[in-house]
Every structure is written in structure tokens, then in C-alpha cells.
Structure 1
């Protein structure tokens, strides 16, 4: 085996998958290579579902702000407001919930849908926690957090000089 074969980004360039045999050692070798590839690529393209990646950023959120309000929106498809808990305390917004599996009978063979519990914590700075408001519409959670007077006063405009 050449040294370049050990570099994970050089593997996986075949044009078509080839099955040589069902040798268990060869299967183990390929699986170990795949695991190392995932580590070096940061799990990009791995088979981990977004629900399993709760620590890695599910649900997806968007933060926007104006001079007065910080707004956090989160995509929660397939959930209702009853499935989600929203808390803000000590400068941290916590989104927590669970998407339960829908059982439509027996015989399910394939699914791309995700189920399970999630929790996402978002650090905040200088907001009025007691005035936070939340709404839920069409699978999108919106949390509005008014900025404190301290946060509004701390904004400083910086002039860009050209030389």
C-alpha cells in the first residue's frame, strides 16, 4: 500500500462501485476506511441524520437583529407548538422538543424522515429575557427578544479609512 492510499481524500474516486467478494476482512477494512474518511471530512455527507446531529446544529436557526430586537427563527417541519419548549434564562435561549414517529401500520421498508428528541442552545447578549415572545406558524418557530438599553447603547459606528 502506497502512502498516498492512506490519505482519505484520495479514496472514493472510482467511477462505479465494485464488489470484489463477501470476505469479512475486506468488508471490515472498507468500513474502517469509511470511518476514517468521515473523521477527516468532518462527517460531511455521512449517514447521520439531522435529528441525530442535535449537538451539531438541528434544528437549523436564523438570527437577525434590528436596533431594538433580536429575532431567532427555527425550522421545525412536522412539529406543532405543543411539541416544542422554548426557554430563556441566564443569557441562553433553549429550543427543545421531540418529533415522534408516525405509525401507519406494518410493512415500512424505507424512510428518509427523521424522528427523535432535540435540544438547541443559543447564547444571547443583553436582551430583556422577561419580554421575550414566541410564535409558531407552518413549522417555523419565531422568537423575538427585545434588546436591553445596555445593548442598544453599546453599538458604535466605526469609520473606514482609505489610504
Structure 2
């Protein structure tokens, strides 16, 4: 019976490197090992980095007949830590949180400062009503409702036969 699996071949061909090849590949192997160590250090801290706010949450933009609704995942903030600016049809969302924590254990004092920053800019259609904007923050989700101009909703045009 024949098998397509390479390790079950009847003939074993093992690649052999010469000393010249080893000398050629040695610097590249060291670079790869160093790069692997760097990636290990970065990704071993990934949950910590996400907690610090370096990973931006999701954003959802939807539309109804009367308004645009923007929902931003931003857990861990307080409503007063957001700064929303609407200029023309551009919405700028900023959030900033700074927390200090002091610990004392076994005669050592540890002071930890964490800082989270969110920044998003959205360009909305021109048909927005800047006087009808409302923002709420609940359960880690910032919801912004921006009203449309009444004439932006359009109207149905009947088609007549000639």
C-alpha cells in the first residue's frame, strides 16, 4: 500500500548542510531568534496592553430615518472622561483615563500609574442637525445619537403616466 505521508517513505532523504552553508545562515538565524524573542515579549504582555487601552474597541455606525447612531465599545471609563466634538459633519470622540494605585507589601512601596486614551474621528454625511445630538454611556458602551435635518429624509415622488 502507498502512503502520501512524507515520513512513511521508504527512502529517507535528510538534508545535510555543509560548514559553508552554516556560516552563511548563522547571522540570519541569530536575527530570527532575536525577532522571535521580541515577539514573545510583546505578545506575552498582550492582555495587559489591551487592559491599558492600547487596543481600541469596536465601533458601530447605523442610520434610521431620523438620526445616525454611533456606538463605541469603551469599557472602564466614566461619562465625564469623554470629550465629544462635532464640527461641521466631523465627529471627534476622545476618552482619557488616568489611574494611580499605591501598594505597600513587605516594606516595599509600589506606585502604579495606568493611562488609557481613546481617539476616533468620523466623517458623517452633511445632512446632520448639530442641535440634535445626545450621548449616553452605559455598561461600557458610548452611544451617540445625531439627528438628521428634516429635509434630508427626502420624500417620495409619484410617477405619473403620460
TM-score by length of 1: 0.55
Larger proportion of strand: 2
1:12-161 maps to which residues of 2 (within 5 A)?
A: 26-32=29-35, 47=46, 49=49, 51-52=53-54, 58-105=56-103, 115-125=115-125, 126-153=127-154
Rg larger in structure: 2
* Equivalent residues, number: 115
**1:155–1:139 distance in 2 versus 1, CA, 3 Å:** farther
Query: What runs of 5+ residues in structure 2 fail to find an aligned partner?
Result: 1-25, 40-45, 106-113, 158-162
Look up the SS of the partner of 2:33 in the other structure: helix
Rounded to whole Å, the distance in 2 between the matches of 1:63 and 1:80 is 22
TM-score by length of 2: 0.56
**1:26–1:103 distance in 2 versus 1, CA, 3 Å:** farther
Let me know the Cα RMSD of the aligned residues. Answer: 3.7
**1:150–1:34 distance in 2 versus 1, CA, 3 Å:** farther
Rounded to whole Å, the distance in 1 between the matches of 2:137 and 2:156 is 30
